[in-house]
Amino acid sequence: MMHHNKNKKFGRERKVRTGLMRSLAHNLILEGKMITTEAKAKAIRPYVERLVTHAKSDTVAGRRLVAARLGNDTTATAKLFNEIGPQYKDRAGGYLRIVRVGIRAGDAAVQAYIGFV
């Protein structure tokens, strides 16, 4: 039994899973939206929403934390603090929306659209 374990593992080891989350967060921040599997969309939503919350208050500590979470990606960090953070300054949370869009033909995985509100 996996009591007290909320992390989705996606059949990957820890470092590969961390890289997957960073990659998904990077693409979502730069593009603003994407289509992925429903499980990955549900896993990435709290990850990115915490980053947006840190970006709302532009502090040095916040910038360092976000940069560390994104693997020192300067372009995504800059966009998060310069565009996305100020855009949601007055919003208390719920920055992302997940909508199911259908089933993938190859493996019948449920696809979902995730994007900023």
Give me the pLDDT at residue 31, please: 97
DSSP 84: I
* Higher per-residue pLDDT: 88 or 4: 88
- pLDDT, tens only, 25-65: 999 999 999 999 999 999 999 999 999 999 999 999 999 99
pLDDT band of residue 111 (cuts 50, 70, 90) is very high
| Cβ neighbours around 88 below 10 Å, total | 18
Give me the pLDDT at residue 5, please: 82
- pLDDT, tens only, 87-107: 999 999 999 999 999 999 999
For residue 7, pLDDT beyond 90: no
Q: How many CA atoms lie within 13 A of 115 on its CB side?
A: 11
Query: Which domains, ranges and CATH numbers included, belong to the chain?
Result: 14-116 (3.90.1030.10)
For residue 1, pLDDT beyond 80: no
Residue 71, judged by CB atoms within 10 A of its CB (0-12, 13-18, 19+), counts as middle
Q: What does the DSSP assignment read for 41-73? A: HHHHHHHHHHHHHHHHS--HHHHHHHHHHTTS-
